[in-house]
Structure 1
Amino acid sequence: MAKLWLKRLVLAVLALLLVTVLGLWFFLRGSLAQIDGRRTVAGLSGNVTVSRDDRGVPSISGGDRNDVAYATGFVHAQDRFFQMDLLRRMPAGELSELFGEKALETDRINRLHRFRARATQAIDAMPVADRQLLERYTAGVNDGLNALGNRPFEYGLVGVAPRAWALEDSFLVAWAMYIDLQVTGIGRELARGWLKEHASAEQLAFLLPSSTQWDAPLDAASAPAPDAPIPARAPDWWGKGVAKEPATLAAAAFVDGVGSNNWAVSGKRSNSGGAIVSDDMHLGIKLANTWYRLLLQVPAQHGSTRRVVGVSIPGVPAVVAGSNGNVAWGFTNSYGDYVDLVEAGSAKDRPGQVKLPGGWETPLEHAESIRVKGQPAVTLKVRETSLGPIMQSGGRDYAVHWVAHEMKAVNLAIRHMEEVDSVAEALALAPKVGMPAQNLVAGDSDGNIGWTIVGPLPQRPATPVDASYPLSANGSTRGWQGLLPAAAYPSLRNPAEGQLVTANSRQLLGADSVKLGDGGFDMGARARQARDALAALGEKTDEKGVYSVMLDDRALFISQWRDRALAVLDAEAVKGRPQRAELARLLKDNWNGHASVDSVAYRASRSFMWSLYELLYGGANIELAKLNKDANMRAASSRWPVVLGRLLDEQPGGWLPQGYADWQALQLAALDRTIAHLTAGGQPLASATWGARNTASIAHPIAGAVPMLKKWLSVPPDQLPGDSNMPRVAGPAFGQSERMTVSPGREEQGLFNMPGGQSGHPLSPFFLAGHADWVAGKAAPLLPGPAAHTLTFTK
């Protein structure tokens, strides 16, 4: 009898488990997008068709632009609503409502800027036509959300109901990009401010060169090498505060968060006579991918139709980068100086007031309520001055004077890129677009190419003022004032060499450079390599040739650090040191000149450079981390490898840290540090390949909260070639968020891939569609394939 009851109990448990699994399965399937059928929609002017190919890429066709916006909102919501929700909540400081107390610190930081309130004001100021389009897009988003059989699966896991989309949420998505692309400027200013207080003027001039020989500016053939003299002695913090024999190497895990490439060749260098534009924006990569592919068939003048193809960002009803048949365009982050920190003074006899360069003032106070899941709301007091909200760091108050706070920081003007017919029109539109200031590279079907900045630029004094340090409350300099007028934007068109390249580094050396400032330019090695690789394609090229430059993983920059390592590992240095001898052998025999997955030599050379960084800058970084999460010596200047190179070449005694007999001993300590990291856990040095370190760890945000689902919410652990300081930027969760090459009017020959698929749902066949192409660098067609599914909206 006991066995019978045990058997029944086991069967009951199995039945309950089966019911639970089936219930979960049907719940998950209920939130899959509708991809076939017909839907009747009030407010449409005519029918709209959404045709998807076998990868889920939609082609949206309609006779009215607002109807197309509605359908765009519908598919965005059905495929990506949770992603959209995170994109609006992050800048608004509303993540705690989903994730509880663990998101509260992030919310406090972002709520300081009161972007939701600013978004409401910006919506009120919209042009009528843009507002109507956004209203139809918003209606499509909410209808798409409500049409799902179940709420998106993520909300079932976090236990919160989704909230309807509002007009201002689309503007918050744009502010999310400001935070992603510009907010690190705050950490940079704090780092440089600390450095200014802990170094002499001569030391600063040496440690912070404004450009290097690696730069590839648009307005000059090259940039001069830094020539500031090396001072007689180093700052007091130099070479202090880091253990000499660590078990791990923190810097080896560092992958530059700076990236994006775009370039264009003019018609005189293309086989077709039209320009060719290539763009690969580098971002942190998650599932779903930042970008959502689509093709729009929209009304044009005189009753014709215009085809616009490229990438959108869920939450915004526009193609962000792509081609409209006449003009193709793409972006890279410009890294100009768009934020000033202005010290806010105080006095006992002026309670409630702050001192700024313009005088004393009384900040406005706002009580911001942050909802926290499962807990009472938290109130944050925000003090707003004429120069921006006040933040605290290192016991000081600073007004954050950031372009993102301007009324014109965000608008919907990017949608008008689909209407421009020439490079000249694209460059004229750029200053009117409300988005984080980017390098715009465009080309048209007549073969013209051009560059300018798209997005608002601060108006800085004609006389250069170094505003990359915090400004004093007692000084006369208030930093930037107002926005640069459109007529003053720097631009270039049709250079004699027939190409334009940007890659986050210094764009200009001439007089116009002061209009941008330096907000953390990349060093320039990547831009230089891309420029030279593009030139090497010869007098004539095509889309495949231009695309191939994005996959250039030659280790031109790191090769110098391999050479330095080999020079240090001489016969005396390796005598009786088998691991040093093994490293020297691998640096010689395993080097193929690329950041390839099987290269130990690349990984070791790179780690050698970063080991020196830790030994020399590590103490300063410990202090800077107390000020801001983005404050470090790398933020203060990306050109530190050039500074170290000069020291290793000249070997001044006053810069050799205590505890080292000579510069050779310091470099050997860095190499021993590298060996200790690469062999941690007993791993043989020969198996410490770059691929073992550079393994994809791209996952859905929910994967961290629900580890048991990680397998189904992550990409395979592919080993990735490429790295920073070369065109093929690749890190475990950072890199080329899309690759696109297109000649306007020849979109059929356009090339594309991206790391994730169209859907954010793991049960969708489109979840990882195209991922394998991205890993391999295989170029797929830019245009969607034949229709495999059709959804029609009727009025």
Structure 2
Amino acid sequence: MKRLSKLLAYALLGLLVIAVAVLALMWHARLPQRSGTMSLTGLKAPVQVRYDESGVPHIRAESEGDLYRALGYVHAQDRLFQMEILRRLARGELAEVLGPKLVETDRLFRTLTIREYADAFAAKMDPAAPATQALQAYLDGVNQFQATHPAPIEFMLLGIPKRPFTVADTASVGGYLAYSFAAAFRTEPALSRIKQQLGPDYLGIFDLGWYPDGVTQGQPAAPTSPASSPGPTLQAGDWRDLEKVASMSQNALDIAGVPLFEGSNAWVISGARSAGGKPILAGDPHIAFSVPAVWYEAHLSAPGIELYGLHQALNPFALVGHNAQFGWSLTMFQNDDIDLVAEKVNPDNPKQVWANGQWADLQERQETINVKGQPPVTLTLRRSPHGPIINDALDKTAGTQPIAMWWALLQTENPILEAFYQLDRAETLDKARSAVSKIHSPGLNVVWANAAGDIAWWAAAKLPLRPYGVNPSFLLDGGSTEADKTGFLPFEQNPHEENPARGYIVSANHQPSGAAPVPGYYNLWDRAQRLDQQLAARATGWDTPAMQALQLDTQTGYGPRVLAPLLADLRAASPDPGEKALVEQLAAWHGEHPVDAVAPTLFNQFLFDLAHEALADELGEDAYTVLRRTRALDHALPRLALNADSPWWDRRSTPDKETRAQIVDAAWHKTLAHLKATLGSDTGSWTWGRAHRLTHEHPLGKQPPLDKVFNIGPFAAAGGRETPNNLSGPLAEVPIPVTYGPSTRRVIDFSRPAAARGILPTGQSGVWGDPHYSDQAQAYANGQTRPQYLDSADVASHTRETLVLNPK
């Protein structure tokens, strides 16, 4: 018996060893191959791919076609699952692999008609155009990798079938990029509901004015834009529908784990201000954190192109990049390119709405969503002359009012791939301006410089011409002419600057200066103001370390600006010596957010509680939650704090009339109670590093225990909302999850372009277990950067592995 037991034990041990060996072999087979040789169909000559210590490929080819085919192949090695999940999100196909909980997300994206738009975009592309041929070669490289290698582990776990990637998939991801910028889904319903249900006195805290001289000096608001009409009247069920669509638009991105574009910093100084006598460019686009990170770095070299660029999934053209002659970065323009239109329905025919002076038929079509483990879902989608009816995203509507979405993306030619193909090669001011003019949607600020000494900024978008007096911050009335568009502003009339006399340009998602208003959902001016002040204060001597220090600056004027009118109320609410000492910390605070400080923890929790105490009772929890995720609330809170007579201070749920002092008192003590319960009774331990944490989440890491396997972090995070080091998230209570921030931090000094610096939040690879899956994460959290090798000698000396791709 003992011998039998021993034999069984040995047998089980042997099976375990075999199982572990098989799993190890399966895992190893899925790691990127960065050395040796591989064969690719379609190559005209061998392509050399040299990988540096960070896993960045430096690709040398003898032709453009070979270059982009090789890029597609190596990009897919590292990011195939990211490519798959992005195209499925954009095209409304997630439920097929993730199950019924994603049906709602798929309904939303089918309703947005990105899939329909992308298919039409692909069909219209000129097959002879260089950009089209480059894209086709890139996708061929992606598809050759997918067809010849084991599927990534995520494909196995989720049962994702392989299928080729297409031009329409690339266009769909571009449509998602444009959608991710759109704040209208949250902001317009929130402001419209306040306007209709609460009245104009409650709108007073929202900064709806225009600043013709710019906002970086924080001057008082100029006269507001002409008021819009009273607007359409919606019923309670219609408002619930809009709140649901607004929540869906956010939840879709949270559930799928796909990066949302949030904002950005970019600035450039002229050679007259730099230590090296040449322009210096700095950029850190702000994007939601994820695993893998949004950007894929690659150094491309072939006849006609030399570029170190950052690429998005399924796009062969760098969206930001540089070489020895020129470079650029991006920020969000924040222009309002979506209008929500409440349709006027024909009382005699519910399938007709009023448009262009007559009754027009609603177009209808049906689409089918495949659902993993369940029968397919069929949905009917409608479109009016104003655009898709977004209520159709809901399975069951509470209201009866059709709301259409007019979107510039669906109304313009938008040759955005051609734009970036040309921008990747634009060494002169004229070439760069011409390339940028082809960006129609989403709205982007392009901040550009070259070694010849030019610096420039262009606000790139097709800006719609709306009727005089229309304020698109609110729902528009489809029964009037206010939803009509008379055309688009010519590109040369967009906001822009070329070689300004001040010697520097700042772009930080703030409202641009100019006599003509450009409607938008702009960020607070505090971040732009901080950057502008720092750049203006130093006339000469700027270099890379100084630029990096500015990128890591954690100070903002926003906190002190909110607190200043409330300090007397806070002091009156704090008779206890310990509480009074905390108030005095806030009074002495200048808005810095380092990890070892207590004041930013106090302020951010207090801001969360103050906003809820003041606004939630009027709006209701659902509507307040929608407003909390908008930039409109960020603008509103300083104005609310200044106005002791604002009607928002009074609680509607009580017969008494509450005052600002009472609401401040309630919010302050709620803050203290929450921090004690969350961080402990020792107030000295309420440091920002404990309260403000960054975890990079993988789509599979949303649920335990897979979060311990696929996620990266947590890390203590300096910076905060509207600081230059904009590590942040929506207004939230402690512990505050850091959901977005700099997706890279780049500095290019054109006196030493080979010494450019950059960083990714996690690493180059999206393949779990790869050495480059998370090898930059700690350095990023520490504010460090690494070299971006451009010079051939540097590339050679830092090559760690070499892959040669041969013609098959």
TM-score bracket, normalised by the shorter chain, equals 0.7 to 0.9
User: Is 1:269 paired with 2:268?
Assistant: no
- 2:313 equivalent in structure 1: 314
Q: Which moved more, 1:524-533 or 1:547-556?
A: 547-556
CA distance in structure 2 between the partners assigned to 1:4 and 1:559 by the alignment? 78
Q: 2:180 touches 2:261 (CA, 8 Å); kept in 1?
A: no
1:216 and 1:762, CA in 2 relative to 1: closer, same or farther beyond 3 A? farther
CA distance in structure 2 between the partners assigned to 1:488 and 1:283 by the alignment? 28
Out of 466, 470, 476, the residue aligned to residue 465 of structure 1 is 470
Q: 1:274 touches 1:448 (CA, 8 Å); kept in 2?
A: no
Out of 401, 406, 409, the residue aligned to residue 411 of structure 2 is 406
- 2:160 equivalent in structure 1: 160
Kindly provide the amino acid, as one letter, of the partner of residue 552 in structure 2. Answer: L
Q: 1:327 touches 1:423 (CA, 8 Å); kept in 2?
A: no
Deviation at 1:49, TM superposition (A): 1.4
- 1:171 equivalent in structure 2: 171
**Aligned-partner SS, 1:260:** strand
- 2:600 equivalent in structure 1: 602
CA distance in structure 2 between the partners assigned to 1:432 and 1:257 by the alignment? 20
CA distance in structure 1 between the partners assigned to 2:264 and 2:443 by the alignment? 13
- 1:366 equivalent in structure 2: 365
Kindly provide the amino acid, as one letter, of the partner of residue 494 in structure 2. Answer: Y
- 2:734 equivalent in structure 1: none
CA distance in structure 1 between the partners assigned to 2:276 and 2:145 by the alignment? 41
- 1:612 equivalent in structure 2: 610
Deviation at 1:15, TM superposition (A): 4.0
User: Is 1:721 paired with 2:718?
Assistant: yes
String of CA shifts for 1:533-585, please: whole Å, max 9, x gaps. Answer: 22233323122222321111024321344555653343x6433x466346336
Q: 2:177 touches 2:261 (CA, 8 Å); kept in 1?
A: no
Deviation at 1:382, TM superposition (A): 0.8
- 2:805 equivalent in structure 1: 793
Deviation at 1:510, TM superposition (A): 1.8
String of CA shifts for 1:414-434, please: whole Å, max 9, x gaps. Answer: 121121122332122212135
Q: 2:97 touches 2:160 (CA, 8 Å); kept in 1?
A: yes
CA distance in structure 1 between the partners assigned to 2:698 and 2:272 by the alignment? 44
- 2:385 equivalent in structure 1: 386
Q: 1:471 touches 1:478 (CA, 8 Å); kept in 2?
A: yes
Deviation at 1:83, TM superposition (A): 0.3
String of CA shifts for 1:257-311, please: whole Å, max 9, x gaps. Answer: 84311111112212223221111011111110000111111322xxxxx421121
Q: 2:287 touches 2:742 (CA, 8 Å); kept in 1?
A: yes
Q: 2:317 touches 2:421 (CA, 8 Å); kept in 1?
A: yes
1:681 and 1:133, CA in 2 relative to 1: closer, same or farther beyond 3 A? closer
Out of 503, 509, 512, the residue aligned to residue 507 of structure 1 is 512
CA distance in structure 1 between the partners assigned to 2:648 and 2:758 by the alignment? 52
Deviation at 1:132, TM superposition (A): 1.4
**Aligned-partner SS, 1:767:** coil
Kindly provide the amino acid, as one letter, of the partner of residue 292 in structure 1. Answer: Y
Kindly provide the amino acid, as one letter, of the partner of residue 166 in structure 2. Answer: A
CA distance in structure 2 between the partners assigned to 1:431 and 1:588 by the alignment? 47
CA distance in structure 2 between the partners assigned to 1:634 and 1:733 by the alignment? 15
Deviation at 1:482, TM superposition (A): 4.3
Q: 2:353 touches 2:362 (CA, 8 Å); kept in 1?
A: yes
CA distance in structure 2 between the partners assigned to 1:16 and 1:156 by the alignment? 22
Q: 1:209 touches 1:639 (CA, 8 Å); kept in 2?
A: no
- 1:25 equivalent in structure 2: 24
Where does 1:52-63 land on structure 2 (aligned, <5 Å)? 52-63=51-62
Q: 1:285 touches 1:734 (CA, 8 Å); kept in 2?
A: yes
CA distance in structure 2 between the partners assigned to 1:442 and 1:264 by the alignment? 7
- 2:481 equivalent in structure 1: 476
Out of 289, 292, 309, the residue aligned to residue 293 of structure 2 is 289
CA distance in structure 2 between the partners assigned to 1:485 and 1:216 by the alignment? 21
CA distance in structure 1 between the partners assigned to 2:763 and 2:213 by the alignment? 34
1:586 and 1:6, CA in 2 relative to 1: closer, same or farther beyond 3 A? farther
- 1:107 equivalent in structure 2: 106
Q: 1:277 touches 1:329 (CA, 8 Å); kept in 2?
A: yes
**Aligned-partner SS, 1:460:** coil
- 1:663 equivalent in structure 2: 660
TM-score for both structures, normalised by structure 2: 0.87
CA distance in structure 1 between the partners assigned to 2:648 and 2:31 by the alignment? 65
Where does 1:753-792 land on structure 2 (aligned, <5 Å)? 753-783=759-789, 785=795, 786-792=798-804
User: Is 1:490 paired with 2:495?
Assistant: yes
TM-score for both structures, normalised by structure 1: 0.88
1:216 and 1:30, CA in 2 relative to 1: closer, same or farther beyond 3 A? farther
Deviation at 1:717, TM superposition (A): 1.6
Deviation at 1:462, TM superposition (A): 7.0
1:490 and 1:550, CA in 2 relative to 1: closer, same or farther beyond 3 A? same
Where does 1:394-793 land on structure 2 (aligned, <5 Å)? 395=399, 396-409=401-414, 411-413=416-418, 414-433=420-439, 435-454=441-460, 456-461=461-466, 463-511=468-516, 513=517, 516-518=518-520, 520-561=521-562, 563=564, 566-570=567-571, 573-575=573-575, 577=576, 580-581=579-580, 583-584=582-583, 587=586, 593-622=591-620, 625=623, 630-632=626-628, 634-648=630-644, 651=645, 655-657=649-651, 662-681=659-678, 683-684=680-681, 685-705=683-703, 707-731=704-728, 732-744=738-750, 746-783=752-789, 785=795, 786-793=798-805
CA distance in structure 2 between the partners assigned to 1:84 and 1:146 by the alignment? 15
Q: 1:451 touches 1:500 (CA, 8 Å); kept in 2?
A: yes
- 2:192 equivalent in structure 1: 193
Q: 1:459 touches 1:481 (CA, 8 Å); kept in 2?
A: yes
- 1:81 equivalent in structure 2: 80
1:557 and 1:654, CA in 2 relative to 1: closer, same or farther beyond 3 A? closer
CA distance in structure 1 between the partners assigned to 2:449 and 2:565 by the alignment? 42
Deviation at 1:654, TM superposition (A): 8.8
CA distance in structure 1 between the partners assigned to 2:626 and 2:355 by the alignment? 25
Q: How many matched pairs?
A: 746
1:682 and 1:54, CA in 2 relative to 1: closer, same or farther beyond 3 A? closer
Deviation at 1:457, TM superposition (A): 1.6
CA distance in structure 1 between the partners assigned to 2:632 and 2:566 by the alignment? 26
1:652 and 1:311, CA in 2 relative to 1: closer, same or farther beyond 3 A? closer
Deviation at 1:18, TM superposition (A): 3.7
Deviation at 1:442, TM superposition (A): 0.8
Deviation at 1:29, TM superposition (A): 1.7
Deviation at 1:380, TM superposition (A): 1.4
Kindly provide the amino acid, as one letter, of the partner of residue 635 in structure 2. Answer: R
Root mean square deviation of aligned Cα: 2.8
Gaps spanning 5+ residues in structure 2: where? 225-235, 237-253, 255-259, 392-396, 729-737
Identity %: 28
CA distance in structure 1 between the partners assigned to 2:779 and 2:289 by the alignment? 16
Q: 2:282 touches 2:747 (CA, 8 Å); kept in 1?
A: yes
1:445 and 1:257, CA in 2 relative to 1: closer, same or farther beyond 3 A? closer
String of CA shifts for 1:463-519, please: whole Å, max 9, x gaps. Answer: 3521221111221222435443334333211222111111111112422x3xx312x
